[in-house]
């Protein structure tokens, strides 16, 4: 198969490149349309109990949560006439705007004390949106916020903009700006490193062929996906990072092998064909492993992670195509001119060099190396023992961002979270008045519950303290709802614990639903964590199957999976130490400590890093197996294989780490986490794992590295395609 691909690329080089250029132009023109359509949402589970509660409240009670929450700080009593007039002016400025359904506030709702700040100088104003998409709500929310700021300046009050709309707009705007800035750093750095590594300006164009084939094509697929479902703006990170990174990885492997074959053959066509047969085969299996690993994110219900599955899988598949067809076609056309415009002399890889000596020393002291390396990885992993995971909120933004400032103001100046109650829907509850009252009383004594609002009363600490003046809004036919007001942030582990406590109380009916921001947060957490085992099982099985097809060994795939898990645990430990505990935070540009690490980002790091680590595993194993198949003993094959692939792996890891580390410059903590986590894991894997643990363990295993039961060995021989 690979021989036929090589012949096609070599003999029809001009046609292949022309079709490739046409593909790039068309997909770039269409794929760019998806960027303004992407959303910063996607962290919620649409099939969860909280989602059903939201739909029921919308359809039966006509309720919507406020999309924008505005705090008006009057700098005097909120009950002063001037303050009330200022709030009325802000409400009148917002109410007629397109997309706005209703504006309510402390002043229009009867001035309830719970909507007033602790010091009595600030109060809430809520903006509700008409039917529409999240993008339309966000646009209306942004315009409403601008109107509120203008009106506030005229009246001398201060406003703080918060709520879902402000948070989404803040994160969206910051991410798009930060991606552009990160790319302005990553692209020149990666180009410079690529030129240095490839040695000539002509050779350094090779990664661009793969990246330009993969990135627009992946954006094009996201544009198509966007026609049917939402896609997350964070998918741009992965498309860019993977497209550039894999472009460099695969081009480095292909070009290095082409140079080697071109020295051995005067016939360029033969060199191209042999390159595709060897390095191309490695790229195919490597990319297949990465794509299958990234596909595991389809198992999660959050479209934030599903976007990464779409983006990642198609970026990788297109990078494979770019490396197997357009790039070999380009090499066939330029031939030995690949060395034109040299920056430095690229010497052929000697059989006895640095990596040969390193691997020889490692295998000689194999048990010592294994023990010391495992101890180091365990030291790195230790902080992960107290890892706490959670979902992002406005605190992922820089501390001085207006939305982050508003969130902090609300936390410190308001006693309870009126804009984010626990919403409890009880279908048919109107016939069960006594049971509902008893249920409300039990809810009201839970830790962190300030009071419970029922259709008839306000319940505090198990006792009715007042009638509910808005009781009519809590009834829809025979259906009723309750609001449990808490004193904790909804989107925190404490808010999650509160929802677990609420759901642990036996409700009046089995159809009772628990919703609200804290429930959405909890269901999102469980929507990720509950699917982690199945995702890990998928990744492990797919990896072992592909590695078995590549090597014919049972032990090598198991070893690769276990080493990747060790590397990931070490990465998790360092992430916990920095992003949860706060060490070295200033070195990474500073960020707000929340006491936990983003769950979805950790899952993303696991899956991306696992896939990329398999890249380097296959780069190394391809040379070792090739030498072993030619008759070399395992120790000699490992030593010479590492010598011939070590430079490629090191260079690829350095460039890929440079690309992802550019995201550390972002002001959004989630992007910092991705940038640092992926970069650290790649460097750790390329150094500690590939250079030390792999040769040591392969030397210990000896001939058992290549063992497989007879039925599997026979299956591999039937399926093993090299041509």
What is the tens place of the pLDDT at every residue in 145-189?
999 999 999 888 999 999 888 888 888 788 878 878 887 887 788
The pLDDT of residue 723? 43
Topology match between the domains 65-167 and 349-401+525-723:
no
Query: Within 10 Å of residue 530's Cβ, how many Cβ atoms?
Result: 13
- Averaged pLDDT for residues 252-258: 89
Does residue 44 have a pLDDT over 80? no
Nearest CA to 656 out of 179, 248, 187, 319 is that of: 248
The confidence band for 722, taking pLDDT boundaries of 50, 70 and 90, is very low
The pLDDT of residue 385? 94
Query: Within 10 Å of residue 679's Cβ, how many Cβ atoms?
Result: 23
551-555, 627-631, 641-645, 716-720, range with the lowest pLDDT: 716-720
Does residue 582 have a pLDDT over 50? yes
Does residue 143 have a pLDDT over 50? yes
Q: pLDDT (tens digit, 9 = 90+) per residue, 472-497?
A: 889 988 999 999 999 888 888 889 99
Does residue 55 have a pLDDT over 80? yes
The pLDDT of residue 348? 62
The domain at 65-167 falls in which architecture? 2-Layer Sandwich (3.30)
Does residue 399 have a pLDDT over 80? yes
349-401+525-723: CATH topology is Multidrug efflux transporter AcrB transmembrane fold (1.20.1640)
Separation of alpha carbons 641 and 337, rounded Å? 28
Separation of alpha carbons 460 and 454, rounded Å? 11
- The pair phi, psi for residue 411, each rounded to 5°, is -60, -40
Does residue 66 have a pLDDT over 90? no
226-240, 245-259, 276-290, 681-695, range with the lowest pLDDT: 226-240
The pLDDT of residue 600? 84
Report the percentage of the chain scoring pLDDT > 70: 98
Are the CB atoms for 104 and 473 separated by under 8 Å?
no
Does residue 368 have a pLDDT over 90? yes
Separation of alpha carbons 156 and 231, rounded Å? 41
Separation of alpha carbons 367 and 365, rounded Å? 6
- Averaged pLDDT for residues 420-427: 91
Separation of alpha carbons 459 and 456, rounded Å? 10
Residues paired with 183 in a beta bridge: none
Report the percentage of the chain scoring pLDDT > 90: 40
Q: Which residue ranges make up each domain of the chain?
A: 1-36+199-347, 65-167, 349-401+525-723, 421-515
Separation of alpha carbons 38 and 52, rounded Å? 24
- Pairing verdict, β 479-486 and 422-426: antiparallel
Nearest CA to 119 out of 76, 80, 88, 152 is that of: 76
Are the CB atoms for 283 and 251 separated by under 8 Å?
no
When the pLDDT of each residue in the chain is averaged and rounded to a whole number, the result is 88
- Averaged pLDDT for residues 134-155: 87
Tokens of 619: 């780069």
Read off the DSSP letter of residue 116: B
Q: How far is CA 507 from the centre of its chain?
A: 36
Residue 574 CB contacts under 8 Å (≥ 6 apart), including other chains: 380, 383, 680
Separation of alpha carbons 556 and 189, rounded Å? 35
Helix (H, G, I), strand (E, B) or coil at 129: strand
- Averaged pLDDT for residues 124-143: 84
The pLDDT of residue 347? 67
The pLDDT of residue 557? 92
Q: pLDDT (tens digit, 9 = 90+) per residue, 623-667?
A: 898 888 888 888 889 888 888 888 888 888 888 888 888 889 988
What's this model's pTM, rounded to 2 decimal places?
0.85
Residue 716 CB contacts under 8 Å (≥ 6 apart), including other chains: 548, 549, 552, 708
The confidence band for 324, taking pLDDT boundaries of 50, 70 and 90, is very high
Q: pLDDT (tens digit, 9 = 90+) per residue, 296-318?
A: 999 998 887 888 888 889 999 99
Residues paired with 68 in a beta bridge: 127
**Which is it for the CA torsion 86, 88, 90, 92, positive or negative?**
negative
Does residue 439 have a pLDDT over 60? yes
Q: pLDDT (tens digit, 9 = 90+) per residue, 604-621?
A: 899 888 888 888 888 888
The pLDDT of residue 315? 93
Separation of alpha carbons 280 and 722, rounded Å? 10
1-36+199-347: CATH topology is Multidrug efflux transporter AcrB transmembrane fold (1.20.1640)
């Amino acid at each position: 198969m690979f021989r036929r691909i090589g012949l096609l690329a070599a003999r029809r080089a001009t046609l292949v490149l022309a079709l490739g250029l046409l593909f790039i132009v068309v997909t770039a023109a269409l794929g760019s349309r998806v960027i303004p359509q992407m959303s910063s949402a996607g962290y919620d589970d649409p099939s969860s109990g909280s989602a059903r509660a939201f739909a029921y409240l919308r359809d039966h009670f006509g309720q919507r949560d406020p999309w924008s929450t505005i705090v008006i700080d009057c700098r005097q009593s909120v009950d002063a006439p001037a303050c009330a007039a200022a709030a009325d002016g802000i409400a009148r400025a917002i109410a007629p705007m397109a997309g706005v359904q209703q504006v309510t506030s402390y002043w229009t709702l009867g001035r309830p004390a719970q909507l007033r700040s602790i010091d009595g100088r600030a109060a809430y104003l809520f903006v509700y949106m008409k039917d529409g998409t999240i993008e339309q709500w966000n646009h209306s929310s942004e315009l409403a916020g601008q109107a509120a700021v203008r009106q506030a300046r005229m009246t001398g009050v201060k406003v703080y903009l918060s709520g879902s709309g402000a948070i989404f707009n803040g994160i969206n705007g910051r991410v798009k700006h930060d991606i552009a800035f990160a790319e302005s750093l990553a692209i020149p750095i990666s180009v410079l490193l690529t030129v240095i590594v490839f040695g000539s300006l002509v050779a350094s164009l090779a990664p661009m062929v793969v990246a330009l084939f993969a990135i627009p094509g992946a954006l094009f697929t996201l544009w198509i996906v966007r026609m049917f479902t939402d896609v997350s703006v964070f998918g741009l990170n992965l498309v860019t990072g993977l497209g550039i990174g894999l472009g460099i990885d695969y081009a480095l492997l292909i070009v290095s092998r082409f140079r080697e074959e071109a020295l051995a053959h005067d016939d360029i066509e033969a060199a191209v064909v042999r390159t595709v047969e060897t390095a191309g085969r490695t790229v195919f299996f490597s990319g297949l492993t990465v794509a299958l690993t990234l596909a595991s994110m389809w198992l999660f219900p959050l479209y934030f992670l599903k976007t990464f599955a779409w983006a990642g899988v198609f970026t990788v598949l297109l990078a494979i195509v770019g490396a197997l067809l357009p790039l070999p076609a380009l090499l066939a056309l330029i031939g030995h001119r690949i060395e034109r415009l040299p920056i430095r002399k690229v010497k052929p890889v000697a059989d006895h060099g640095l990596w040969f000596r390193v691997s020889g020393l490692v295998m000689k002291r194999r048990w010592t190396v294994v023990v010391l390396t495992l101890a180091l990885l365990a030291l790195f992993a230790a902080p992960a023992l107290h890892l706490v995971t959670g979902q992002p909120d406005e605190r992922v933004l820089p501390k001085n961002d207006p939305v982050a400032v508003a969130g902090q103001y609300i936390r410190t100046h308001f006693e309870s979270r009126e804009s984010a109650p626990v919403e409890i829907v009880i279908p048919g509850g109107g016939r069960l008045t006594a049971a509902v009252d008893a249920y409300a009383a039990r809810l009201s004594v839970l830790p962190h519950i300030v009071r419970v609002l029922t259709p008839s009363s306000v319940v505090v600490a198990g006792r009715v303290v007042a009638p509910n003046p808005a009781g009519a809004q809590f009834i829809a036919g025979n259906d009723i709802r309750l609001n449990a007001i808490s004193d904790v942030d909804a989107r925190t582990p404490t808010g999650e614990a509160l929802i677990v406590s609420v759901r642990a109380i036996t409700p009046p009916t089995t159809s009772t639903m628990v919703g609200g921001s804290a429930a959405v947060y909890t269901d999102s957490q469980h929507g990720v964590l509950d699917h982690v085992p199945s995702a890990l099982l998928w990744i492990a099985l797919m990896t072992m199957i592909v590695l078995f097809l590549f090597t014919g060994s049972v032990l090598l795939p198991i070893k690769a999976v276990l080493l990747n898990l060790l590397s990931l645990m070490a990465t998790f430990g360092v992430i916990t130490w920095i992003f949860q505990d706060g060490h070295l935070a200033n070195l990474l540009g500073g960020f707000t400590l929340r006491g936990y690490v983003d769950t979805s980002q950790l899952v993303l790091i696991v899956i991306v890093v696992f896939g990329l680590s398999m890249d380097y595993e296959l780069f190394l194993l391809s040379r070792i197996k090739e030498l072993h198949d030619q008759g070399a003993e395992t120790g000699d094959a490992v030593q010479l294989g590492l010598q011939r692939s070590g430079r490629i792996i090191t260079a690829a890891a350095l460039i890929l780490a440079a690309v992802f580390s550019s995201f550390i410059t972002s002001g959004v903590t989630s992007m910092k986490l991705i940038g640092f986590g992926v970069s650290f894991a790649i460097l750790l894997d390329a150094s500690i794992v590939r250079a030390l643990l792999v040769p040591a363990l392969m030397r210990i295993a000896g001939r058992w590295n290549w063992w497989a039961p007879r039925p599997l060995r026979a299956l591999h021989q039937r399926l093993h395609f090299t041509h």
